[in-house]
């Protein structure tokens, strides 16, 4: 087995590299507020369930 100093490392084209975005949709404050609003709305709907659903 060859040492790391002798190992050939193939070079890749820079256009083949996929770079991740600096910020994603799930770490933006507005999305967290929207999620919190949806959660509150879900809780409100559960509290106001019709009696025949129980």
Distance CA 24, CA 1 (A): 43
Does residue 16 fall inside a structural domain? yes
Q: What is the pLDDT of residue 5?
A: 82
Residue whose pair of structure tokens reads 């600096």 in the numeric block: 22
28 pLDDT more than 70: no
Per-residue exposure over 10-22, b if at least 16 CB sit within 10 Å of its own CB, e if not: eeeeeeeeeeeee
Does residue 13 fall inside a structural domain? yes
The 8-class DSSP code of residue 4 comes to G
Instruction: State the total domains in the chain.
Output: 1
Does residue 17 fall inside a structural domain? yes
Domain residues for the domain of 25 are: 4-48
Higher per-residue confidence, 44 vs 27? 44
Residue 51 token pair: 């009696």
Q: What is the pTM of this model?
A: 0.36
Does residue 54 fall inside a structural domain? no
Does residue 31 fall inside a structural domain? yes
pLDDT in tens, 7-26: 888 877 777 677 777 777 66
């Amino acid at each position: 087995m060859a040492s790391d100093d002798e190992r050939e490392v193939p070079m890749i084209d820079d256009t083949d590299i996929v770079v991740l975005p600096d910020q994603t949709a799930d770490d933006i404050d507005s999305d967290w507020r929207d999620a919190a609003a949806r959660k509150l709305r879900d809780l409100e709907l559960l509290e106001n369930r019709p009696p025949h659903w129980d």
